[in-house]
Amino acid sequence: MKKEFKILNKEAMHAGFFRLNKYQIQHTLFAGGWSEVLTRELFERGNCVAVLLYDPANDKVVIIEQFRLGPIDEPENAWMLEIVAGIIDAGETAEQVAYREAEEEAGCVVKKMHFINEFYTSPGGASEKISLFYGEVNADGIGGLHGLAHEHEDILVKTVDFEVAYQMIQDGRIESAIPIIAIQWLALNKHNLPI
């Protein structure tokens, strides 16, 4: 099978903080031939970076907490525990964004940055691709309120022992996929971290 798809039409439905486009597409089928014409909406926000900030000497993970609209139907979950993340702007590399966001969102100076992996967060309906990094920090004195006022960021930063961060996943306090992936990566790699 030759894997192909055709965009028959693209219509802008919304252009604001994020973009929503409607596509009419066809794609080749595993059984041969082409699919019917499919109409799908795609949430387009650009590519992003996430950084797992970790102090290996003290076994501490930097966790941030901020308001998120996604869980609007579950108001008690609207303040989510996450890791540092941000959108890649034109002219920036993913690594540059990782360093910048670590400082803006958590007040952290990263000693060493290591690329972990890239992944799509929800490819069935969103174009967002995450570049995930591990950033080594000294967690002494990290905490408090951070974020950029002109971006309306209101971020509470704290450090927790790795075991506490891992327990937050197990007991459902961390519900966002990106920190779950990052902390599970750390669980698998913390005794052999990249230099």
Instruction: Please state the rounded mean pLDDT for residues 41-47.
Output: 91
Q: How far apart are alpha carbons 6 and 96 in whole angstroms?
A: 35
Q: Label residue 195 by pLDDT band (50, 70, 90).
A: low
- What pLDDT was estimated at residue 185? 97
Instruction: Please state the rounded mean pLDDT for residues 111-120.
Output: 96
> Which of 46, 190, 177, 182 is closest to 116 using CA atoms?
182
Q: Is 103 considered catalytic here?
A: no
Question: 147 by DSSP, 3-state: which?
Answer: coil
Q: How far apart are alpha carbons 121 and 178 in whole angstroms?
A: 8
Asked: is 48-192 a CATH 3.90.79.10 domain? The reply is yes
Given the residues 44, 151, 153, 175, the one annotated as active site: 151
- What pLDDT was estimated at residue 126? 93
User: Contact 131/49 with Cβ under 8 angstroms?
Assistant: yes
Between 155 and 51, name the one with better pLDDT. 51
Instruction: Please state the rounded mean pLDDT for residues 36-61.
Output: 96
Query: What percentage of the chain has pLDDT greater than the value 70?
Result: 99
Q: Where in the chain are all domains bearing CATH 3.90.79.10?
A: 48-192
The secondary element (H helix, E strand) that includes residue 183 is helix 177-189
pLDDT at residue 72 greater than cutoff 90? no
